[in-house]
Amino acid sequence: MKIANLLLAGSILFGVSAYAHEGEQQEESSPLYLTVKGMYAFGEDYTNDEGVVEKGDAGIGIGVDFGYELAYGFALELDGTFETADVQVGEEPKETIDYYAASFDLVYVYELTEKFGVLGKVGLEYEYETVGDEHNDETGMSYAIGAEYVLNRTYNAVVEYEGSTIDGPKGDAVMAGVKIKF
């Protein structure tokens, strides 16, 4: 039922966007783009499968999105992020964890004006984390909301709030960066 609702909502968004863009003249440019973002993850307390509390501190990192613009505000993205943060597991001393994530997302940007748009993303995510010699990986869904502001024909400023269905001490993140259109 959830999948049917998502498909229906996507179809309505696509139809409304197609109707809104009907008759517009678009400049010819490549549909490819690259976004480079700085990242601040909030960290959170998480109880793992053994019942031990993992206390995640805020972390910093970087994100890169490779995108392909489709029609009517839609795009496909392959995203990668790296983040490092300190985590305390139970009563153990804090350790630094490195998080690596990759996701494949469907993006929709709704243009409010010629220069400003709001965006939403949803996709499949793979996360890999390392703590010393230990490694862990998980998969889940990623989602984001944000905004874009057109600086010129080549550059857009981008801000996003991103979350994931993968549980852990990493927490949600905010990102800000520059989208470069080719």
pLDDT at position 12 over 70: no
Can you give the pLDDT at residue 133? 86
User: End-to-end alpha-carbon separation of the chain, Å?
Assistant: 39
Between strands 173-181 and 116-131, the pairing is unpaired
Question: 25-54: per-residue pLDDT in tens?
Answer: 455 679 999 999 999 999 999 998 899 999
Can you give the pLDDT at residue 13? 46
- 3 CB-near residues (< 8 Å, 6+ apart): none
- Domains of the chain, by residue range, sit at 31-181
Whole-angstrom distance, CA of residue 135 vs CA of residue 171: 18
Token representation of residue 142: 């990623």
Whole-angstrom distance, CA of residue 4 vs CA of residue 16: 18
**Fold classified for 31-181:** Porin (2.40.160)
Question: 171-180: per-residue pLDDT in tens?
Answer: 999 999 999 9
